[in-house]
Structure 1
Amino acid sequence: MVKHIVLFKLKDEAPADKKLTAMKEFKAAIEALPAKISVIRKIEVGLNMNPGETWSIALYSEFDTLDDVKFYATHPEHVAAGKLIADVKENRACVDYEI
């Protein structure tokens, strides 16, 4: 099994209401993906509630193989979900590891 963890930092200069709307839309879109992308075993998105931290969004997901992660990453539905935060995203960090 491969665990896929992604953190997103949003731009400080982006308006708070625009960031919150983008975050909520992104969360809903990502969490709807298992019905559209069969290789996803588990997925969840957490919106950071601690304003003292750097990262705004955490995405946690599980797949059978790294090839499944790659399939998910390039799937049009996933790409469309990513565009929901594109205007407010500053940075992204990712780790994929096998257990």
Structure 2
Amino acid sequence: MIKHIVLFKFKENLRSEEKLASIKEGLEGLPGKIESLKKIEVGFNCNPEEKYDLALTAELEDMEGLKAYAVHPEHLKVSAVIREILEERACVDYEL
């Protein structure tokens, strides 16, 4: 099993509550659409002292499953919305 953790920082002048809600809804809708994606959690940062705006944690079957997730059309749809307002991204993947 692979744990996939991603942190996103969005451009201040481009983000809106509507856009952020759309991103969260899109990400949370991926389980069941992508076979290798077993679990996903998405949360907005509630600590204004930290620099990232959104955290995603996901569990996938294995590294091949992570690769399949990355290029899946449903994931790419949400990724396109994220890229419109993305300033910075950090990611860590590790085996459970």
Instruction: Normalising by structure 1, report the TM-score.
Output: 0.89
Alignment gaps of 5+ in structure 1: none
- The aligned residue for residue 57 of structure 1 is 54
Give deviations 1:24-62, integer Å, cap 9, x for gaps.
111100111112111111101111122221000100000
Report the secondary structure of 2:91's partner residue. strand
Cα RMSD, aligned residues only: 1.2
Structure 2 unaligned segments of length 5 or more: list them: none
Percent same amino acid at aligned positions?
45
C-alpha contact (below 8 Å) 1:19/1:88 kept by paired residues: no
2:89 corresponds to 1:92? yes
TM-score (norm 2): 0.92
Cα offsets for 1:46-90 (capped at 9, x unmatched): 111222210001000001101100100100100100112222110
Give the one of 59, 63, 68 matched to 2:65: 68
Match of residue 11 from structure 1: 11
Q: Number of residues paired by the alignment?
A: 96
